[in-house]
Amino acid sequence: LVGSEMCIRDRASTALYCIGIQPFLKQLQQFLLAQGPALPLFFVDDGTRLNTAKGRLLLGSCDSVQTAQRHQQDYLDLGFHPAVLHMHPSNSSEPSAAASYGCKVLGSYVGSDEFILHSLELHLTHLNDLADKLISSFSDYHQHLLTLLRHCFLTKPSHLFRTIPPRLTLSFAQRVNSIGHRVFCSMTSHLHSTLSVLQYHQLHLHVSDGGFSLPDMLLVRECAFPASFAQCIHDVTDILTLLRPLTIDDILCASRYYHDPSNIPPPIVSFLHHHNPIFIAFFDAVAVLTVYDPALTVQSLLVTQRTDSKLQHSLYNCCYQHSLTTFKHSLQQLNDPAHLAHY
């Protein structure tokens, strides 16, 4: 199992790992349930335990404060501790309601924009601490440090970019890049104390293009969320259909209507008859990709490309080609043969 977990590029190994760990997870669920009122949830080997006395339960937005208070009382009657329940900011008069409305689920953050942004700030502190440990532990082993930076450290935030709308992750992406640059510069400080903007850009170029192949978080930010959304769209529609009808056609219709209100909106019975913020985030993210490649549309992602297991990688390459073109244009603008000789 350990070996198959490490070989994540082997689909059969990953599938066998998921199958093999199921009996253990079921036993663990039974054990947790026996400890008291709780709801243990798992996705592969990531677990979250919803406890009636600990943790957070986020109450959805209601049309009135009175309705929200009735819902809150329903949970109190079920045995939930008052400290566990968090009213939606729109139904609360507490000044700190927005900042505290959220929780960490399966390694990512859900809740209000304020909560998510604050959580990302804390995550940056954690990444800076990890960077310090990398630098101090491998100061004499630059090859090891570069490998860990490229393949381990800079791949960790990918899950956050896949699960948090891009409008909330721009500053986070820029600062993760800066942390990566700091780790890299620890290897070159005896030659160059700082690097130029073009040199920092060059770090993210593929080796074949004269770079060091460090993943660019700004590009990951642009491709990860739409790739994740498209790949799980059928699970999303299956769940949301339990509330109101929702089909792929409804999503395509909502996308056209969002970008041009002169189009026909989704049917009145559809879940997307009214704008939904997560779907809007997806539409906006795809619009950025369409600028890079007109063939990338909401329809192509949801209908044709959603089954591509390497969809994020494909979209990253699309973003990368645009970035590479921008880099080459910047070099041409220098008009400095002596400087360009380094590239």
Q: Is the pLDDT score of 2 beyond 50?
A: no
Relative orientation angle of helices 311-334 and 277-292, to the nearest 10 degrees = 50
- Single pTM value for the model: 0.78
Which of the residue ranges 7-11, 41-45, 104-108, 266-270 would you say has the lowest mean pLDDT?
A: 7-11
Residues 236-283: pLDDT tens digits?
898 888 888 999 999 999 999 999 999 999 999 999 988 899 999 999
Cα-Cα-Cα-Cα dihedral of 216, 218, 317, 153, to 10°?
A: 40
User: Percentage of the chain surpassing pLDDT 90?
Assistant: 46
Residue 230's CB: how many other CB atoms inside 10 A? 26
Judge contact between 99 and 114, C-beta under 8 A.
yes
CA angle 67, 73, 78 (to 5 degrees): 135
Distance between CA atoms of 192 and 202, rounded to whole angstroms?
15
Distance between CA atoms of 28 and 40, rounded to whole angstroms?
9
Q: Which whole number is the average pLDDT over 27-46? A: 70
Residue 15: pLDDT band (50, 70, 90) is: confident
Cα maximum dimension of the chain: 76
Higher-pLDDT residue of 131, 30: 131
CA angle 91, 95, 99 (to 5 degrees): 85
Q: Which whole number is the average pLDDT over 86-105? A: 83
Q: Which whole number is the average pLDDT over 286-304? A: 94
Residues 143-187: pLDDT tens digits?
999 999 999 999 989 999 999 999 999 999 999 999 999 999 998
Judge contact between 279 and 256, C-beta under 8 A.
no
